Amino acid sequence: MARTMTVDVGDELREFIDSLVKSGDYRTQSEVLRDALRLLREKQAESRLQALRDLLAEGISSGEAATWNKDVFLKQVKAKTRIADEGN
Instruction: Write the pLDDT tens digit of every residue in 40-52.
Output: 999 999 999 999 9
Region at 64 (left for phi over 0; alpha for psi -120 to 50; beta for the rest):
beta
Residue 21 lies in a domain: yes
Residue 1 lies in a domain: no
Write out the residue range of the structural domain in which residue 39 sits: 10-87
Taking only the tens place, the pLDDT of each residue in 5-37 is 999 999 999 999 999 999 999 999 999 999 999
Q: 27: how many CB neighbours lie within 10 A of its CB?
A: 9
Residue 2 lies in a domain: no
Residue 15 lies in a domain: yes
Domain count, the chain: 1
What kind and span of H or E run contains 76?
A: helix 70-87
Question: H helices of 23-69, where?
Answer: 29-61
Residue 80 lies in a domain: yes
Q: Is the pTM of this model over 0.85?
A: no
